Structure 1
Amino acid sequence: MPSAFFRPVCALLLSLPLLSACDSSPNTLAGDGASASTVAANQQLAQQLPLADQRDFEQANRGLIAKPESLEVRNDNGEVIWRLADYDFVQGDAPTSVNPSLWRQAKLNNIHGLFKVQDGIYQLRGFDLSNMTLIEGNSGWIVIDPLTAKETAKFAMDFAMQHLPQKPVSAVLFTHSHIDHFGGVLGLIDRAANNDIPVIAPHGFLEEATSENIIAGPAMTRRASYMYGRELVRNAQGHVGSGLGKGPAFGTFGIIEPNVLIDQTGHEMTIDGVPFIFQYTPESEAPAEMTFYLPQHKAFCGAELVSRNMHNLYTLRGAKVRDARKWSAYIDQARELFADADTYFASHHWPIWGQQQIQAFLSGQRDTYKYIHDQTVRHLNNGLTAGEIAERLQLPDSLAQNFSNRGYYGTLKHNSRAVYQGYMGWYDGNPAHLDPLPESETASRYVQLAGGSLALFRQAETAFQQGDYRWAAELLNHLVFADPDHHSGRQLLARSYRQLGFQSESGPWRDVYLSAAQELLQGVSDNAIDISKMKDVLMQSPVSNFFDSMSVRLKAEQADEFQSLVIHFTDLNESHYLWIENAVLHHRPVRASDNSELRLNVSHELFVDMLLGSAGLKQTLLSDELSVDGSVLELIRFFTLFEKPETNFNLVTP
């Protein structure tokens, strides 16, 4: 990520005055800011796990061909968008401020370079959040999942070509519709190239890849900044990795429309002389996803259907709940279909070699998701709520002792809540929770009930001293929502969040807690993500997606008088009719019966620029790419009916 994202908050946090306590109190801090309670909790977990087992490290290092002297990637403006050296501190024994299991995973994810998986299969790991795999074909390289950004993909491919035969890209495969697996494609091939080479993806890929996050994008982006620790320093008191990898590269994102779609399991295809057998796995880890098997290599690519950690059934940035039953069934299907595989590799992490080891890994992944599903439903059918189930559920030792099933990314607690939500929704059946008071109102009344701010603060202080950080955070959250300017309350809440972060085995949980602590002390950063970097992806999105996005930005209270508008995209030869009825925006392709006194003629690209905010309507009225039939003032009024979402809204304060 750009260095501007990193803020020197560690010194500030560590310099905060300690609460009054004797040296033996759980509040006593180690040199890195971990309390005695946190140290004890992390040590207890370390004793429960086989942390000395080196097999994963042996596998992660196996086949290393070369690593760059400096893995630093810059954009065209010279800004750093990816620098692995930011994680050089992740070495040696776990500091007390990091969960030792997460530290182990972070060390594994630091192992980077160009690797030989087997003859004809190579991986670039550590050049971005995800892996890029190269399969040697007869005439060129078949590229699997070209990373997140154009800059990192180009850097990785250029490095690979220093050590492998210099051949062109002969095909591209997108295993699924998440941006860290397709966003860098324009760093490898020009968009026109998809007329010349196969670009292969699962059915529904382009729609899912371009529509994800458009409607709820501002909220998801804001929450993603917490989930990935975007504003945190990279050190033992800050961001150490996401569990799934290090972190995403915030470079220039692109996409190419596939010309070959996979829509069934068992589909066979020879790509540049290499036979492939595909497995179609929609609505698993991604809405559009596939895995594949290389029979000549006896190699199974698990995409992100499986990975070396427990994945998300629900992601903290916000997304639709994933179906644990389907997910588990797809893994079992792959286990049977590709039972001859003696090599496994995927879109994240490191490979596995040996049929027995691969079968055991797939069985563990299969059973992890099915266990979460089955036991959550068992308990909800016995009347337990989502919170009660999350607190009760534990993986059996046969799964929990295997690091590939640990909650480094998803967690048992929030995944069980996802299963509950998928079946039961937000309401737990208790009428007191059917129409609760707003958070700030509830908080004010709890503070009053506690006897005032000072009394509640003292209760929270006692909880903190006892190492009961979850309860301290619960109390202090009420205090801060009732009185956002309560300085001591904000400080102690931040300190509680930090200890919870230091204990978290999940990379995203750690980042969420530490990001919240930072914002309580420093306020919300104005370092918003530059959405113009998404322009190329948005240009491939159907224009109807943008009208859907406009619908959820309509200021309904001002919209009841506006009638209709036709927008004609001059370069697409496509026209859409928009009208407002009952303070709701509707849209559809123009019909012969649709009449409107107002018509905007605009190029697709200029329209996208307008929506991104890089081109304003008033400034573009004289552009050759835009003309208006009808009242210009009425057109301007139409666009003023849509608000610009607040991208840096508060999360930890009202």
Structure 2
Amino acid sequence: MNIGRIATVVFCTGALFACNQAQNPEAQISNAVVAPEHFHPKGKEPSSFTKAKQAQLRKTLPLTDARDFEEQSRGLLARPDYDEIMAEAGHVAWSMGKYEFLLDGKDFDSIHPSLQRQALLNMNYGLYEVTDGIYQVRGFDLANISFIKGDTGWIVFDPLTAEETARAALKLINDTLGERPVVAVIYSHSHGDHFGGARGVTTTEAAASGKVKIIAPAGFMEHAVAENVHAGNAMSRRMFYQYGSLMPASPYGHVDQSIGKTVANGKLGLIAPNLSISEPLVDMTIDGVHMVFQNTPGTEAPVEMNTWFPDKKAFWAAENISGTIHNIYTLRGALVRDALAWSKYINIALYSFGKQADVMFTAHSWPRWGNDRIQQVMRGQRDMYAHLNNQVLHLANQGVTINQMHNVYQVPKSQQEQWYARGYHGSFEHNSRAVINRYLGYWDANPATLIPLSPEDSAPLYVEMMGGAEKIMSKAQSLYNNGEYRLAQEITNKLVYAEPNNQNAKDLLADIFEQQGYQQESPSLRNSFLAAALELRSGIPKGVSPKTGPDIVKAMSTELWLEYLAILMNADDMEGVSYRFNLIQPDIQENFVVELSNGALTAIKGFTDPTADLTLTINRADLEPVMMQQKNLREQVLAGKASVEGDTDGLRDLLTSIAPFELDFEIMPGTK
């Protein structure tokens, strides 16, 4: 990456948008250029309809508002002289260089102008001073890592996803400001990009001895592990769609993830907290730094907390406030969030801290300075989450259904002009559907949709009634040529489900998806359309698969592990089988009765059954290599680390029905 060039672009307060607009209001229309060559041989240029839409957006979006660029660039202290961070395994864990095309000062018709603006803002790369004694390293991962200067060392907030990127960030601040030990690590919430790099800034031994405080909201360990276990394989597969994680960085492909560029692909770990925050407000001083923790459960994460620094008049908003409206429903999959609770906790923060704050900094995006600006952003985001909740329910109570809501719900006009209220990470289309799903579920109350046919079963009838593949292709191509992409999608998708080996149909559907992707402001939506297009054209791409690290497995409770085994078990293989065994773990004094009956595997903690078919005794420490698939139970028995009494054949049969999931399951028909 050309470090001088990134500095030039960023410090032109408003970069390619605001600077060009200031010189020539028409520049955003006339300056559009032909993008670099498409990364895929079947890829298409933006259509005339897409180009016209982007040109109109450049006229109507508030692109002359340069405040975000001024805030984004403020406080820069140092940039690294490298643009890649390597993983210990030998691959690239993090790259900013691959997004260098965003710095060329061009407008790409293959990128929504608002998204291109956000993607440029997220080219933050280096060490920044937030206020006296508070610093951030941005652009080393999806999240920011923050450093608070204590009397003797660093207090680290949210140590990123990967050990390698967190270590590089710590080295950058030590090289720039002088080396200091890490005296505390604070996890704001239970998502991996906020704790996975902990081993890059401290050690398990330092935490166990109490030398380094590891602080998190109560319930952190349970949620940090559990959210990605039960449906973890499906979530990992769906992440390719939401995050576009295997798409090339390109004007035609991945450009941003709204709250950062993308997720680092390094070594993820977890060091357990040695101090939990359980009360709504907790006042604490660590290494001379006075902090007030505000618990905000059930907002952006199941457990999350903001932090107020009274002596510095600085407010840390965690991921509850950032440069975008967030996900009420995250497309990779997770429980639907509570928009009303989210709004209320922002309101509490506003009245408790926001009216006094001189600076607000967060786990993503960039800080806001000045009390008027801080209150404006806090109120705007508070009101947007409240409006989403209240107006969706207002419409639902008038009969608008989940299958109509995204076409009916409208963002208030007063919010449409505010960049901090844009739906980058959480589009208003899928968030509005999420709110109705939270309260009323997925059914629209029409019996025809209550127990619908599977798409592959209903599609042949549609194809037959429409006159066959040739007529559908002709009509779909006509719709595509006229820029009616959603209508074209409706019928072409039916054909692809009916004829998954019809490559011409898949290619046309890919073309349709691609144009829709180009037009999306939300990178989550853009990536989903473009990832589907890529798979329809070339099949499921290969890449470095995410792996669960040993820290995560060790943090998994035995009960959660048994629940996961029950999900892994092929119930059809166990039809009619009844089997019961005791699992005894002497070192942690936990007992379970595990029972297979009626095709279901269940476990109850705190009990043993004297009539069980088998009793398996194994220390939790010796079970963990089995959980990590480094050993099997038979090996542990032969090594004297486990003992069995009773019928082992039943346990063997049960274990043979348990197999890990494959990550490359098909989403679009005919792509595997």
Is the Cα contact below 8 Å between 2:317 and 2:362 reproduced in 1? yes
> Counterpart of 2:665 in structure 1: which amino acid?
F
Q: How many Å separate the matches in 2 of 1:392 and 1:55?
A: 31
Matching of residues 528-547 of structure 1 within 5 Å:
529-532=545-548, 534-547=549-562
Compared with structure 1, are the counterparts of its residues 620 and 265 closer, same or farther at alpha carbon in structure 2 (3 Å cutoff)? closer
Matching of residues 620-639 of structure 1 within 5 Å:
622-623=638-639, 625-639=641-655
Q: 2:290 aligns to what? A: 275
Matching of residues 104-503 of structure 1 within 5 Å:
104-194=117-207, 195-338=210-353, 339-503=355-519
TM-score (norm 2): 0.90
Q: How many Å separate the matches in 2 of 1:130 and 1:156?
A: 12
Deviates more, 1:283-292 or 1:568-577: 568-577
Unmatched tracts of structure 1, length 5 or more: 1-8, 17-28
- Of 523, 529, 547 in structure 2, the residue corresponding to residue 513 of structure 1 is 529
> Counterpart of 2:656 in structure 1: which amino acid?
T
Q: How many Å separate the matches in 1 of 2:400 and 2:493?
A: 25
Deviates more, 1:605-614 or 1:587-596: 605-614
Q: Secondary structure at the match of 1:552?
A: helix
Deviates more, 1:51-60 or 1:303-312: 51-60
Deviates more, 1:463-472 or 1:573-582: 573-582
Q: How many Å separate the matches in 2 of 1:241 and 1:624?
A: 52
Q: 1:90 aligns to what? A: 102
Q: Secondary structure at the match of 2:524?
A: helix
Provide the aligned C-alpha RMSD in A. 1.9
Kindly state the Cα deviation for residue 611 of structure 1 after the two structures are TM-superposed. 4.2
Kindly state the Cα deviation for residue 445 of structure 1 after the two structures are TM-superposed. 0.9
Is the Cα contact below 8 Å between 2:88 and 2:267 reproduced in 1? no
- Of 40, 45, 52 in structure 2, the residue corresponding to residue 13 of structure 1 is 40
Residue 598 of structure 1 pairs with residue 584 of structure 2: no
Q: How many Å separate the matches in 2 of 1:106 and 1:337?
A: 33
> Counterpart of 2:377 in structure 1: which amino acid?
F
Residue 51 of structure 1 pairs with residue 71 of structure 2: no
Deviates more, 1:583-592 or 1:596-605: 596-605
Identity %: 38
Cα displacement string for residues 442-468 of structure 1 (whole angstroms, at most 9, x for unaligned residues): 111111110111111111111100111
> Counterpart of 1:13 in structure 2: which amino acid?
H
Is the Cα contact below 8 Å between 2:592 and 2:608 reproduced in 1? no
> Counterpart of 2:282 in structure 1: which amino acid?
H
Kindly state the Cα deviation for residue 604 of structure 1 after the two structures are TM-superposed. 3.9
Q: How many Å separate the matches in 2 of 1:232 and 1:383?
A: 40
Cα displacement string for residues 11-70 of structure 1 (whole angstroms, at most 9, x for unaligned residues): 563446xxxxxxxxxxxx6xxx11111111112222221213222111111100001011
Is the Cα contact below 8 Å between 1:606 and 1:615 reproduced in 2? no
Kindly state the Cα deviation for residue 610 of structure 1 after the two structures are TM-superposed. 3.7
Unmatched tracts of structure 2, length 5 or more: 1-35
> Counterpart of 1:70 in structure 2: which amino acid?
Y
Q: 2:82 aligns to what? A: 70
Q: How many Å separate the matches in 1 of 2:455 and 2:517?
A: 23
TM-score (norm 1): 0.93
Q: How many Å separate the matches in 2 of 1:12 and 1:191?
A: 43
Kindly state the Cα deviation for residue 596 of structure 1 after the two structures are TM-superposed. 2.8
Deviates more, 1:565-574 or 1:212-221: 565-574
Q: How many Å separate the matches in 2 of 1:51 and 1:494?
A: 31
Q: How many Å separate the matches in 2 of 1:573 and 1:67?
A: 51
Q: How many Å separate the matches in 1 of 2:216 and 2:502?
A: 52
Compared with structure 1, are the counterparts of its residues 577 and 234 closer, same or farther at alpha carbon in structure 2 (3 Å cutoff)? same
Compared with structure 1, are the counterparts of its residues 226 and 623 closer, same or farther at alpha carbon in structure 2 (3 Å cutoff)? farther
- Of 49, 69, 92 in structure 2, the residue corresponding to residue 37 of structure 1 is 49
Greater relative CO (CA pairs within 8 A, separation 6+)? 1
Kindly state the Cα deviation for residue 149 of structure 1 after the two structures are TM-superposed. 1.0
Q: How many Å separate the matches in 2 of 1:444 and 1:172?
A: 57
Q: How many Å separate the matches in 2 of 1:10 and 1:631?
A: 64
How many residue pairs align between the two structures?
Answer: 630
Residue 556 of structure 1 pairs with residue 571 of structure 2: yes
Q: How many Å separate the matches in 2 of 1:14 and 1:566?
A: 58
Kindly state the Cα deviation for residue 620 of structure 1 after the two structures are TM-superposed. 5.8
Compared with structure 1, are the counterparts of its residues 82 and 329 closer, same or farther at alpha carbon in structure 2 (3 Å cutoff)? same
Is the Cα contact below 8 Å between 2:69 and 2:121 reproduced in 1? yes
Q: 2:33 aligns to what? A: none
> Counterpart of 2:77 in structure 1: which amino acid?
I
